């Protein structure tokens, strides 16, 4: 008799997956397409920012040594942004200067307009300036040849602005993974079909496709594979052109659960097949090395199990493929208070689907309301969910008000 396969702790399962996952190779994209991508190379500044000393205020460029309170100075000209002065600032004079305009040679301070009074071509000042005041020095933001952005940086709006200022219009980023979705089961029909008695709509494919859209992955849905090896094997082989395959269903111990057999047939290396968690205990993780390395996640067929497994295991792997650091938490964690009592599972970590909100009055604590339906096959248990509550195994109920750890799936 074959020995019973042990179930991994969920965090051990996650570690095994990440150990098999590395960032995908680089590709060059236009800056306009780089948002939310991860840099595969460091960016060194090919120019200084700012490129020259410029005024931080509308005011007057002066030599500090020439300024005395109440002593008028002649105003020579106005320096506008984009129109550098053609000559150095003469001793004993001042020049009007606009924000962003180059500071003229010879000036070592800018006095803002609110501290000056100009009349008949002369300006007087309310107080003496400090050397360098209101002058943005060349390279004080980013020095020439300095490291502007390190490899592994996630490109946000600020990074887009910096890259554009540096003239970096082509960016090296990690390639986005391609993902194939394969749903298995004799009972499944497409969403546009009318299910007969004993049939159900293939909702998992749509749910997984929506989750993948959040990551920016290139996802495709393959035809439904029925519960026979002659259907599963060719469909699985066709899926291997993708970097990641998400199959759902057929991974438990039923008489018609052939997914593991089909994976062995196509040469997959199985790393584990059970996780000590609820929902989502039957979870197969494999790698296939031909024609290239493909990560294969055999997700449970029950909708809630598939979604929870995706968030805990698939999403971190996709982020790693995209170039995010392995230790980066894919979901923000928070300590929340239970709104209702919860009964833990005696043996497995239970990830409860919940809605987390913030109190409207001080101390503005985060409150977690477990959704009323927690069955692994209940689609309604996913509606309105914005967090997963991690409930450790135990023999006693957790009272309302008990703090528990939550993984936030959306902004609270």
* Per-residue pLDDT tens digits for 272-316: 999 999 999 999 999 999 778 999 999 999 999 999 999 999 999
**CA-to-CA distance for 111 and 126, rounded, in angstroms?**
10
CATH of domain 333-408: 2.40.340.10
Place of tokens 């991508």: 37
Return the DSSP state at 312: I
pLDDT at 66 (0 to 100): 97
**Average pLDDT over every residue of 18-38:** 97
Asked if residues 187 and 200 have their Cβ atoms less than 8 Å apart, the reply is: yes
363 confidence band (pLDDT: 50, 70, 90): confident
DSSP secondary structure of 203-216: HHHHHHHHHHHHHT
* pLDDT over 90 (residue 378): no
The model carries a pTM of 0.90
pLDDT at 396 (0 to 100): 94
Within the chain, which residue ranges are assigned CATH 2.40.340.10? 333-408
**Average pLDDT over every residue of 54-64:** 98
Among 280, 268, 410, 412, residue whose Cα is nearest residue 349: 280
* Model confidence pLDDT, tens digit, residues 316-329: 999 999 999 977 77
Burial class (CB in 10 A: 0-12, 13-18, 19+), 161: exposed
Contacts of 393 (CB under 8 A, 6+ apart): 344, 345, 346, 347, 348, 349, 350
* pLDDT over 90 (residue 256): no
Distances (CA, A) of 101 to 11, 26, 59, 163, 200: 56, 39, 11, 22, 68
pLDDT at 1 (0 to 100): 41
**Average pLDDT over every residue of 62-66:** 97
Within the chain, which residue ranges are assigned CATH 2.170.190.11? 54-136
* Model confidence pLDDT, tens digit, residues 103-152: 999 999 999 999 999 999 999 999 999 999 999 999 999 999 999 999 99
Asked if residues 251 and 305 have their Cβ atoms less than 8 Å apart, the reply is: no
Distances (CA, A) of 222 to 116, 196, 234, 237, 286: 72, 22, 11, 11, 19
Tokens of 304: 């809630």
**Average pLDDT over every residue of 264-270:** 95
Asked if residues 377 and 200 have their Cβ atoms less than 8 Å apart, the reply is: no
**CA-to-CA distance for 271 and 323, rounded, in angstroms?**
23
* Model confidence pLDDT, tens digit, residues 179-195: 999 999 999 999 999 99
DSSP helix, strand, coil percent of the chain (3-state; round to 5): 20, 30, 50
Angle at 175 between CA 172 and CA 177, to 5 degrees: 165
Asked if residues 201 and 179 have their Cβ atoms less than 8 Å apart, the reply is: no
Largest Cα separation within the chain, whole Å, is 104
* pLDDT over 60 (residue 35): yes
250 confidence band (pLDDT: 50, 70, 90): confident
Angle at 355 between CA 350 and CA 361, to 5 degrees: 125
Within the chain, which residue ranges are assigned CATH 3.40.980.10? 10-24+176-321
For 41-62, give the secondary structure using H, E and C: CCEECCCCECCCCEECCCEEEE
Give the H or E element holding residue 229.
helix 229-239
**CA-to-CA distance for 58 and 98, rounded, in angstroms?**
4
The CATH architecture annotation of domain 29-48+142-174 reads Alpha-Beta Complex (3.90)
pLDDT at 362 (0 to 100): 86
2 confidence band (pLDDT: 50, 70, 90): low
Tokens of 110: 């800018």
How much of the chain, in percent, has pLDDT values that exceed 90?
87
* pLDDT over 90 (residue 19): yes
The CATH architecture annotation of domain 10-24+176-321 reads 3-Layer(aba) Sandwich (3.40)
**Average pLDDT over every residue of 18-40:** 97
pLDDT at 6 (0 to 100): 83
Asked if residues 161 and 306 have their Cβ atoms less than 8 Å apart, the reply is: no
Within the chain, which residue ranges are assigned CATH 3.90.105.10? 29-48+142-174
* Model confidence pLDDT, tens digit, residues 206-229: 999 999 998 989 999 999 999 899
* pLDDT over 70 (residue 41): yes
**Average pLDDT over every residue of 81-99:** 97
pLDDT at 240 (0 to 100): 95
**Average pLDDT over every residue of 233-261:** 88
pLDDT at 255 (0 to 100): 57
Tokens of 212: 């993948």
Asked if residues 311 and 261 have their Cβ atoms less than 8 Å apart, the reply is: no
**Average pLDDT over every residue of 383-399:** 95
**Average pLDDT over every residue of 96-106:** 98
Which fold does the domain 54-136 belong to in CATH?
Molybdopterin biosynthesis moeA protein; domain 3 (2.170.190)
DSSP secondary structure of 159-174: HHHHHHHTT--EEEEE
> What does pLDDT average to over the chain?
94
Q: How many CB atoms lie within 10 A of CB 79?
A: 24
pLDDT at 251 (0 to 100): 86
**Average pLDDT over every residue of 45-74:** 97
Tell me the three state secondary structure of residue 405: strand
């Amino acid at each position: 008799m074959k020995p019973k396969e042990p179930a991994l702790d969920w965090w051990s399962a996650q570690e095994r997956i990440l150990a098999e996952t590395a960032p995908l190779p680089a590709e060059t994209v236009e800056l306009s397409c780089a948002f939310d991508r991860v840099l595969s190379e460091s960016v060194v500044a090919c120019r200084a920012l700012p490129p020259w000393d410029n005024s931080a205020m509308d005011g007057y460029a002066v030599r500090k040594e020439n300024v005395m309170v109440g002593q008028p100075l002649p105003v020579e000209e106005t320096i506008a942004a984009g129109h550098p002065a053609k000559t150095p600032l003469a001793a004993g004079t001042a020049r009007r200067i606009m924000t962003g305009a180059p500071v003229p040679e010879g000036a070592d301070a800018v006095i803002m307009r609110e501290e000056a009074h100009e009349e008949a071509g002369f300006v007087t000042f309310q107080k003496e300036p400090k050397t360098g005041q209101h002058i943005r020095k060349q390279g004080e933001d980013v020095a020439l040849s300095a490291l502007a952005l390190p490899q592994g940086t996630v490109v946000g709006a600020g990074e887009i602005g910096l890259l554009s200022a540096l003239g970096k219009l082509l960016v090296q980023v990690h390639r986005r993974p391609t993902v194939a979705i394969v749903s298995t089961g004799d009972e499944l029909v497409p969403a546009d079909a009318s299910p007969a008695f004993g049939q159900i709509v293939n909702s998992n494919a749509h749910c997984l496709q929506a989750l993948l859209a959040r990551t920016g992955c290139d996802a495709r849905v393959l035809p439904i594979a029925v519960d026979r090896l002659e259907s599963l094997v060719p469909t699985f082989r066709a899926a291997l052109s993708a970097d990641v395959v998400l199959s759902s269903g057929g991974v438990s111990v039923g008489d018609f659960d052939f997914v593991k057999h089909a994976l062995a047939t196509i040469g997959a290396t199985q790393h584990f097949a059970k996780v000590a968690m609820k929902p989502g205990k039957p979870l197969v993780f494999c790698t296939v090395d031909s024609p290239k390395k493909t990560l294969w996640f055999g997700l449970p067929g029950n909708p809630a199990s598939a979604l929870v497994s995706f968030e805990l295991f698939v999403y971190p792997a996709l982020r790693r493929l995209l170039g995010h650091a392995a230790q980066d938490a894919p979901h923000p964690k928070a300590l929340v208070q239970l709104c209702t009592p919860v009964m833990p599972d005696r043996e497995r970590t239970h990830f409860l689907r919940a809605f987390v909100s913030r109190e409207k009055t001080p101390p503005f604590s985060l409150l977690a309301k477990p959704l009323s339906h927690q069955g692994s096959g209940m689609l309604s248990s996913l509606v309105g969910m914005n967090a997963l509550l991690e409930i450790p195994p135990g023999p006693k109920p957790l009272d309302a008000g008990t703090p528990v750890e939550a993984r936030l799936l959306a902004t609270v």
